[in-house]
Chains A and B, each alone.
Chain A
Amino acid sequence: MDEATAKQIAGHARPAHDVPASYAFRSAEPRIIEITDGPSGTGALVRDVRVWIVRFQAGVAWAELAIDEATGSVVRVQRSRA
């Protein structure tokens, strides 16, 4: 997956993840992140995932979608505090 594809996937996925339309695309960078499968807590399985972190921003507010490089799915959403 290249940056353009990651950006395109994130663009399509942003409404489903409540990323406001006013947020503009800011950056996309590859990263390796830890994902917990199932409910977090003792015994939860954790794996590393190669993702593209696509960031949208408006002023100091931001949202980041992590796009799994292998599957193209959104595996994590992080956002600034409201």
Chain B
Amino acid sequence: MKDELESFAWSHIERKLAAAGATPSGSDLARWVSVHRQALPGEAGGTGTTPAPVVAGETQTLTRLAIYFRRADLTVELNANTSEPMAWICSDFADGNAPLTPPEALRLAESAAELPPGAVLAHQGYEDLGGRPVFVAHWEHREQGILVERDYLRVLVSGHSGRIFAIQRCWHQVDLAPSVR
């Protein structure tokens, strides 16, 4: 249940939007905006001590609310052992109208892939993924020419926006000695 102050913040936002001519439903608004109460300095989770302002004859309570606006969904996968990023995808980056030629898209993908030694470009080119043109650059891992099973790097460039919207990385250092991984 929202507390009184959060409800006030929501009402304030709705009034501002209505004044600007927008009338989103409550559920739409909740999808794009979130309101969170924050700790004040001196409170648990705060960063210092700042006294709440007091006006003569009145008692005031200082409350800090953070308002977040949703821009996009970003999914990131991290290796639980090493905390290294394994993949990220932001589908909103796929929207736009600035497609790249295949050589341009490959250069962009290479610049973002941080190619490790042993990365060999296995295939690249535009593909139809879910009805959308997507430039796929896929590198495999080879040590002295021998394929390292399951390792790969893949970069997806939107054929609409010309932006990278996903990177997938499954890679490890080859080690013939037994170890915990």
CB-CB contacts below 8 Å: A26-46 with B: 29-34, 37, 43-46
Complex formed: what's the CA distance from A33 to B148 in Å? 6
Complex formed: what's the CA distance from A51 to B149 in Å? 11
Decide: B174 and A48 in contact? CB cutoff 8 A: yes
Interface membership of chain B positions 146-161, coded 1 if the CB is closer than 8 angstroms to chain A and 0 otherwise: 1111100000000000
Interface residues on B, range: 10 to 19
Give the chain A neighbours of B181 by CB distance below 8 A. Answer: 34, 46
- Contact residues of A: prevailing secondary structure: strand
B28: Cβ under 8 A from any A Cβ? no
A50: Cβ under 8 A from any B Cβ? yes
Known contacts: A48-B174, A48-B175. The answer to whether A43 contacts B180 by CB under 8 A is yes
One of B146, B177, B180 near A30 (C-beta < 8 A): B146
Closest to A45 in B: B178
Closest to A35 in B: B178
Complex formed: what's the CA distance from A34 to B178 in Å? 10
One of B143, B150, B172, B176 near A49 (C-beta < 8 A): B176
Interface membership of chain A positions 6-43, coded 1 if the CB is closer than 8 angstroms to chain B and 0 otherwise: 00000000000000000000000111111001000001
Shortest CB distance A59–B (Å)? 24
Complex formed: what's the CA distance from A19 to B181 in Å? 31
Give the chain A neighbours of B176 by CB distance below 8 A. Answer: 47-50
Binding site for B on A (CB under 8 A): 29-34, 37, 43-50
